[in-house]
């Protein structure tokens, strides 16, 4: 729910059907398409919580985190390092949809 409040009253409001699950799916999709890495929902959720960011430039440095999944080409286990800037790019389209609301 998004609302603009002025003088104690709601000027306008809108319901946007974008929530945490959409962000989690965005992260899984990004890693699948940019790193050929399949990760499950729990791993994508962990990435979202640990390094999720709506913007690419933060005042504080957030450390990269390891992400384990399955390589989509070889089918073997694979680990990559992911940073908050990548996750911000993964979430960008959904964030823009919220901003446009």
11 located within any domain: no
Among residues 49, 76, 77, the alpha carbon closest in space to that of 65 is found at: 49
Does residue 35 register a pLDDT over 90? yes
Output the pLDDT for position 98.
67
Q: How confident is the model at residue 17 (pLDDT cuts 50, 70, 90)?
A: low
3 located within any domain: no
8 located within any domain: no
Domain that holds residue 80: 19-100
13 located within any domain: no
pLDDT digits (tens, 9 = 90+) for 53-94: 777 776 778 889 999 999 999 999 999 999 989 999 999 887
Domain of 70, CATH number, reads: 3.90.640.10
Cα distance between residue 48 and residue 16, in whole Å: 20
Tell me the whole-structure pTM to 2 decimals: 0.76
Contacts of 44 (CB under 8 A, 6+ apart): 24, 25, 27, 28, 31
The domain total for the chain is: 1
């Amino acid at each position: 729910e998004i609302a603009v409040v002025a003088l104690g009253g709601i000027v306008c409001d809108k319901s946007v059907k974008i929530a945490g699950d959409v962000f989690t799916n965005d992260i899984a999709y990004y890693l699948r398409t940019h790193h050929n890495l399949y990760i499950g929902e729990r791993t994508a959720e962990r990435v979202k919580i640990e390094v999720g960011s709506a913007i690419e430039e933060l005042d504080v440095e957030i450390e990269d985190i390891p992400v384990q999944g399955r390589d989509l080409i070889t089918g073997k286990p694979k680990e990559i390092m992911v940073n908050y800037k990548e996750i911000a790019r993964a979430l960008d389209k959904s964030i823009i949809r919220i901003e446009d609301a």
